[in-house]
Amino acid sequence: MSTPFTSAQTANAPVRLPPANFSKWLKAIRRDAFGILMLVALFIVIIGPMIAVILWAFTQPGGWRYPSLIPTRWGLNYWADTLMRADVTRALPLSIGLATVVTALSAAICLPAAYAFARMNFPGRQALLLSFLATNAFPRFGLYISIAIIFFRLGLIATIPGVILIQIVNTLLLMIWIPTSAFQGVDRTLEEAALDVGASRVRVFLQVTLPLVLPALAAALLLTFVSTFYEAQGALLIGIPNVITMPVLMYDIINSQPEPQYGAVISLVLWLPSLLLLLFAQRFVRGGAISAGFGV
Amino acid sequence: METAQLTTARPAPAVPARRDWSALFAYLLISPPLLVLTLLIFIPAAQAVIETLSTTDAATGQTTLTLQNYIAFFQDPILVANLEFTIQITIATVALLFVIGFPLALYLRFSKSRIAAAVQVLALFPLFVPGVILSFALIEFLGSHGMFDTMLNLIGIQGYRTPYQHLQGIVIALVWENIPFTVLILTAGLRQVEDAVVESARDVGANFWQIFTRILLPLSKRSAMIVLCLNIIGVFGAFTIPYLLGPAQPMTMGVSMQQTFNRYEDRTGALTQAVITFLFCAVVGVLYVRTITQPREGQR
């Protein structure tokens, strides 16, 4: 507005003057000093390394030297170079394909079981459901080694089926526990009402139950896809030297590539699915589904 | 989102006459994942224990019980150093996670400010950074003449020594990676303490310390126990971070196993190391399983 304050305006609605606002701010800061301290510390420690990666991805050859805080010469020089490397163009489709197959297989195996765990009554139900949590009790890489020994005898080392199998191990817990809690959360009276007015059981499942659990199922699928896409240890142990996924390729690039730009560009490309998940899953993570998967 | 309740929300009992058939059908539905669980986790783990404890005589084909694989492990100074290194890293990481995670969780549980919401976003952020990317980022950030070194230099601090390729580098990265999990579980545990309980304690004049030690700590014992167990097992079974950020010697058990398996192709040696990590984690694993199978306080 171009007109300055009139006395009527100030009388009706007290204008928030900057000084008053500022002191309120100060008070809030003083009250939450601990929070602000943590915010700053976490920002440097958590976001700092990520900023370094982003900056490196847009740096020209030799364009960032100590003691400059940011690159001095910027450019997209490494993007085409990195994305057209033969190992990258082979690994990226392989990783996406593997994650898709593993997620689909895991869903086919686990979702009917989750329904049974949530809705059916049978002896041993609690103990069997808990046995999936017991997988947390094994140190992960030791377990992979003992699987690898068996795969070695079965000739599954350095094959795609071998990598699929070891990656499924990682998905079971998520695919059982999140859908089970979703099916348990469905209000039974809605289904009974539909049955009362003459709907068939199949129709009730498709039109009442399924829509109610769909968000949680979608979250489970997405979490499984992303975590499989990034699974590196099992794929390294079982896959090399024939099956090289993107994360496995990253090991090699980190260890053998002196210019950080290659790793930085691949990191940013690799990171895309995770950022998508970040946008989608924030609410879900806070809802406690993940902590439920550890038996809290 | 309802969370899976172990002790409540049991399904309503089925109609007795159809019970046998529906139970059979339920077993049919749960058998595929149970089969995968058995074939890919329980059997390999059991096989590993049996195989490393036995030896087969090439001439007679007779299998006998022996500890020779384990004796060989503990007589190898390099492997013993690896085990000690892993234990040191585990202790340092888990201790740091509690020192950082508990205040964060308490703050997030009781503050409702906008800053708390931002702190929560940052604390959960590592959940969305995969291990390989994290390792690369930390190498570039913490390496000598990296961004952190530069920042220190700008405020006049010289003589920075990089933790990269040292024990400290592994610990920093493992703490970074496990903060979200630690904070999530501890906060979830603290949320089970109702506001009313804390407020009534405050009404009768309890100070923060009394509320913390007499109410919050005892009531969040379960989640603290889960965090402790899973973090110990997690660090012991880690590979990516110690492999990328650690020194060439000593290695953690995870790296040592991988090198023994992939590079030296010594399968029995790798398996022996795997079983040793199982044994070290067994106590903690049993504690974890006991914690999660116990009914929650006030829910019996």
**Per-residue pLDDT at B49:** 93
Is residue B211 domain-resident?
Answer: yes
Given a cut of 50, whether residue B2 has pLDDT beyond it is no
pLDDT band at B230 (very low <50, low <70, confident <90, very high): very high
CB contact under 8 A, A139 and B233: yes
Task: Work out the minimum CA distance from B200 to partner chain A, whole angstroms.
Answer: 22
Torsion of CA B197, B201, B203, B204, to 10 degrees: 140
User: Sign (positive/negative) of CA torsion A90, A95, A100, A105?
Assistant: positive
- Together in a domain, A262 and A145: yes
CB contact under 8 A, A140 and B239: yes
Is residue B40 domain-resident?
Answer: no
Is residue B252 domain-resident?
Answer: yes
- Together in a domain, A36 and A94: no
As to burial, measured by CB atoms within 10 angstroms (0-12 exposed, 13-18 middle, 19+ buried), residue A250 is buried
CA separation for the pair A128, B211 (Å, rounded): 38
A205, A253 Cβ separation under 8 angstroms: no
pTM as predicted: 0.85
- Together in a domain, A64 and A105: no
Which residues from A are below 8 Å from B236, CB to CB?
Answer: 139, 142
CB contact under 8 A, B131 and A232: yes
Range in A21-35, B7-21, B126-140, B168-182 the model is least confident about: B7-21
Q: Which residues of chain A have pLDDT under 70?
A: 1-30, 281-296
| Alpha helices, H only, B38-76 | 43-52, 68-75
pLDDT band at B90 (very low <50, low <70, confident <90, very high): very high
Mutate to test the interface with B, among A44, A141, A165, A195 (most CBs of B within 10 A): A141
Whether the CB of B177 is below 8 Å from some CB of chain A: the reply is no
Task: Work out the minimum CA distance from B4 to partner chain A, whole angstroms.
Answer: 4
Is residue A57 domain-resident?
Answer: yes
CB contact under 8 A, B2 and A182: yes
Whether the CB of B13 is below 8 Å from some CB of chain A: the reply is yes
How many domains, in total, are found in chain B? Answer: 1
How many domains, in total, are found in chain A? Answer: 2
CB contact under 8 A, B257 and A260: no
Residue range(s) defining the domain that contains residue A96: 80-292
**Per-residue pLDDT at B33:** 94
Task: Work out the minimum CA distance from A7 to partner chain B, whole angstroms.
Answer: 34
**Per-residue pLDDT at A167:** 94
B189-225 confidence digits (pLDDT tens): 888 888 888 888 888 888 878 888 888 888 888 889 9
- Together in a domain, A64 and A166: no
CATH number of the domain to which B214 belongs? 1.10.3720.10
Mutate to test the interface with B, among A268, A291, A296 (most CBs of B within 10 A): A296
**Per-residue pLDDT at B298:** 46
Chain A CA closest to residue B142: A49
Which residues from B are below 8 Å from A145, CB to CB?
Answer: 48, 257-258, 261, 270-271, 273-274
Show which of residues 208-267 on chain B sit within 8 Å of chain A, judged by CB atoms.
222-223, 226, 229-230, 233-234, 236-240, 243-244, 253-254, 257-258, 261-262, 267
Which residues from B are below 8 Å from A49, CB to CB?
Answer: 134, 137-138, 140-142, 147
Residues constituting chain B: 300
**Per-residue pLDDT at A296:** 53
CB contact under 8 A, B257 and A145: yes
- Together in a domain, A206 and A271: yes
CA separation for the pair A286, B130 (Å, rounded): 19
Given a cut of 90, whether residue B79 has pLDDT beyond it is yes
pLDDT > 70: percent of chain B: 91
Which residues from A are below 8 Å from B103, CB to CB?
Answer: 34, 38
Which residues from A are below 8 Å from B23, CB to CB?
Answer: 120-123
Chain A CA closest to residue B185: A291
Is residue A178 domain-resident?
Answer: yes
B97-107 confidence digits (pLDDT tens): 999 998 899 88
**What is the Cβ-side half-sphere exposure of residue B140, based on CA atoms within 13 angstroms?**
30
CA separation for the pair A187, A184 (Å, rounded): 8
Q: What is the mean pLDDT of chain B?
A: 86
Which residues from A are below 8 Å from B142, CB to CB?
Answer: 49
Is residue B222 domain-resident?
Answer: yes
Is residue B57 domain-resident?
Answer: no
- Together in a domain, A140 and A244: yes
- Together in a domain, A68 and A209: no
**Per-residue pLDDT at B277:** 94
- Together in a domain, A173 and A210: yes
Among residues A49, A77, A105, the one where a domain terminates is A77
Is residue A5 domain-resident?
Answer: no
CA separation for the pair B189, B137 (Å, rounded): 32
For the packed helices A125-133 and A160-184, what is the interaxial angle rounded to 10 degrees? 130
Report, as an integer, the average pLDDT of B233-247: 93
As to burial, measured by CB atoms within 10 angstroms (0-12 exposed, 13-18 middle, 19+ buried), residue B192 is middle
- Together in a domain, A202 and A146: yes
- Together in a domain, A62 and A157: no
CA separation for the pair A166, B93 (Å, rounded): 27
Whether the CB of B290 is below 8 Å from some CB of chain A: the reply is no
Is residue B300 domain-resident?
Answer: no
Is residue B212 domain-resident?
Answer: yes
Show which of residues 25-64 on chain B sit within 8 Å of chain A, judged by CB atoms.
25-27, 29-34, 36-37, 40-41, 43-45, 47-48, 51
B7-60 confidence digits (pLDDT tens): 444 455 444 445 577 888 999 999 999 999 999 999 999 999 999 998 877 777
**Per-residue pLDDT at A68:** 83
CATH number of the domain to which A258 belongs? 1.10.3720.10
DSSP line for B208-245: HHHHIIIIIHHHTHHHHHHHHHHHHHHHHT--HHHHHH
Cα A260 from chain centroid?
25
Is residue A191 domain-resident?
Answer: yes
- Helix, strand, coil percent content, chain B, rounded in steps of 5: 75, 0, 25
Q: Is pLDDT larger for residue B143 or for residue B300?
A: B143
Provide ipTM, 2 decimals: 0.85
DSSP line for A107-162: HHHHHHHHHHHHH---TTHHHHHHHHHGGGGS-HHHHHHHHHHHHHHHT-TTSHHH
Is residue A60 domain-resident?
Answer: yes
Mutate to test the interface with A, among B38, B132, B154, B243 (most CBs of A within 10 A): B132
**Per-residue pLDDT at A7:** 41
Residue range(s) defining the domain that contains residue B214: 76-293
Report, as an integer, the average pLDDT of B62-77: 89
Report, as an integer, the average pLDDT of B213-239: 89
CA separation for the pair A272, B170 (Å, rounded): 25
Is residue B298 domain-resident?
Answer: no
- Together in a domain, A84 and A99: yes
Chain A CA closest to residue B184: A291
Among residues A77, A103, A121, the one where a domain terminates is A77
Whether the CB of B170 is below 8 Å from some CB of chain A: the reply is no
